[in-house]
Amino acid sequence: MTGPSAPRVGPENSSVDSEILWRVAVVQALAVIVLSLSLGLLFPHSFFEAVGWLVGPLAWMLCAWFTAWVVGLAVGPVLGRAALTGIPSALFVILGLHWLGAVVAIGLFAAWCATMPRPLVGGAP
């Protein structure tokens, strides 16, 4: 199979797959929004002030796992990318710009995941 719709297999490719980029960005953004709203409704603000440093990264990683599952990407590399793209987000949190950091992290995360090989369709070996 050749052409732009051919699955990329083998080692990571440095080119960005725009379809994967947008799928990852949308799924991760929706997952972060839904989980954030759910947690915000379940817990008081003081909870996040006390343990937000732990809950935030765990929530981000859970959303990344969900994104990998929905998009069909390898979980290990996706979680590694999520951990590393959380670093710039943490810098924004320190500056008091939590949600801007989340937007930046989602963009970086999606772009980096878009360099991964396309998932195989139909479970082909």
124 within some domain = no
pLDDT band at 14 (very low <50, low <70, confident <90, very high): low
The DSSP letter of residue 43 is S
Q: Rounding to the nearest 10 degrees, give the CA dihedral for residues 9, 30, 58, 80.
A: 20
Q: d(Cα 90, Cα 102) in Å, to the nearest integer? A: 9
Q: d(Cα 88, Cα 36) in Å, to the nearest integer? A: 19
pLDDT at 12 over 80: no
pLDDT band at 77 (very low <50, low <70, confident <90, very high): very high
6 within some domain = no
| pLDDT value of position 124 | 45
Q: d(Cα 60, Cα 36) in Å, to the nearest integer? A: 10
13 within some domain = no
12 within some domain = no
Directed axis angle between helix 75-94 and helix 98-113, to 10°?
Answer: 150
114 within some domain = yes
Q: Could you give the number of structural domains in the chain?
A: 1
Q: Supply the Cα-derived Rg of the chain in whole angstroms.
A: 16
Kindly state the average pLDDT of the residues 81-98.
94
Q: d(Cα 75, Cα 72) in Å, to the nearest integer? A: 8
Q: d(Cα 90, Cα 86) in Å, to the nearest integer? A: 6
88 within some domain = yes
**Residue 23 domain boundaries:** 18-118
Kindly state the average pLDDT of the residues 97-106.
95
